[in-house]
Amino acid sequence: MSFLHSPLRAFLLLTVLSGLCFSPVYAQDTDAEEDAESSSEEAVDVEPLPLEELQVLAEVFGTIKSGYVDEVTDVKLLRNAIKGMLTGLDPHSAFLEPEAFKEVRISTEGKFGGLGIEVTTEGGRIRIVSPIDGSPAADADLRTGDIVTRIDGKLVGDDLAKAVDSMRGEPGTRIVLTISRKGESEPLEVPLVRAVIKVASVRGEILEPGYGYARISSFQSSTANNLRGQIEKLVRENEAELQGLVLDLRNNPGGVLNGAVQVSDLFLEDGVIVSTRGRGNKEVSNESAKPGDVLKKSPLVVLVNGGSASASEIVAGALQDHKRAIIMGTKTFGKGSVQTVIPMNNGSALKLTTSRYYTPLDRSIQARGISPDIVVSQTQVAEGQSNRGVRETDLQGHLPNGQPSIEENSDSETAPVVIEEKDVAASDESASELLMADFQVREALNLLKGMSLVKSNLANK
């Protein structure tokens, strides 16, 4: 085809010249889900752009401009092309429009508008990773693995950014999500009211005298300080140092990388917490712990499940590798990649996967997850059914693990140990409501008691 639209001709000319003589500047990775604040001056060798493929791009562009049923602007076509470049890489890279970029920055500070829901793309569908505690999504009982098929009656495709934009809106406005849920024969119509989500990322309580519980629902820049404050509050309520703590990271979709590093550092005295490696397996960062254990070496049990992702897996992996905590629950999601949000000149941004992270023992958990030390399912699984939730490895186009010796899709680890749930006696006034309702928390408390007893016996000897 000889037709070449003039704006595109100029665009392609600039692109070709860039490919031949310009070395791009890459922003340095700072926090997962945060914007990069600086850039690297290191030059990167770039291959010349393929002219044949550029010709195809020009032909497609021109054909759409002249033959599409409705008139379409150059801006829309170019924006769609940009989005396609990002979404074709992996499920977590995306183009953020200016408004979406603003909300990402707000969310890292713990306040944003919407439904309070973490979503991703899988097999051309919008899948829920996890609702945030206290959000409209959590109150409506939306669950990990639910598929959003319609928003206000309109079909949802695989455009994650468009779906997220549709779910955002002014606080107080109503929205209806149509949900496809495993085990349900008919779609579920779920009405919600948008709200300003003020995420209380940490909460806690005393389970029994001497034993505390702290839950982190997402990782923000202030999470470590909030957790330290929560533990100090529990110590005051207990009127003595804690004999053990349950740290609950279940259904925690992640957040800022520094938040995960700082939370891990609260319990570790020294050693590597996490390292990240970018293109060519080159190390980008290496974070280490500083002296000081907020629990004073008291036993720690960390609860995880299939909704524990990203920053949650950094914490679980670091504490597991240093043998500082027992990891209990079910296998985690397996999102072992770091996304850097890189601002563009027009107020938009790229959320780009820039590195994989590795645990202290050099494990990449991308598309693999953290396997608990003790596998405990929340409820008994019926014979012939699986309690395996959706994980990173199930997402279409997921980033490979990066360690060839690891079989990414392998589920060869020990099958989950399903412990039959036993009721807590209603007359047991010392049991908190959480213990009454949550089987995994009860098992974690029992384990803490055993660990504390062993520690005491060893000290007496």
Q: Indicate which residues carry an active-site annotation.
A: 310, 321, 335
The torsion angles phi and psi of 443, rounded to 5 degrees, stand at: -65, -40
Query: Going by C-beta distance under 8 Å and a sequence separation of 6 or more, which residues neighbour residue 275?
Result: 283, 285, 286, 287, 357, 358, 362
SS3 443: helix
Question: Which residue bears the tokens 């029994």?
Answer: 208
**Which of the 8 DSSP states describes residue 382?**
P
Number of alpha carbons in the 13 Å side-chain half-sphere of residue 34:
20
Let me know: does 400 contact 334? Beta carbons within 8 Å: no
Structure tokens of 354? 């820039």
The torsion angles phi and psi of 83, rounded to 5 degrees, stand at: -60, -40
Report DSSP letters for 287-307, one per residue. EE--S--TTTT--EEEEE-TT
Let me know: does 295 contact 240? Beta carbons within 8 Å: no
Let me know: does 342 contact 366? Beta carbons within 8 Å: no
> How many Å separate Cα 380 from the centre of its chain?
27
The torsion angles phi and psi of 149, rounded to 5 degrees, stand at: -100, -30
> How many Å separate Cα 433 from the centre of its chain?
28
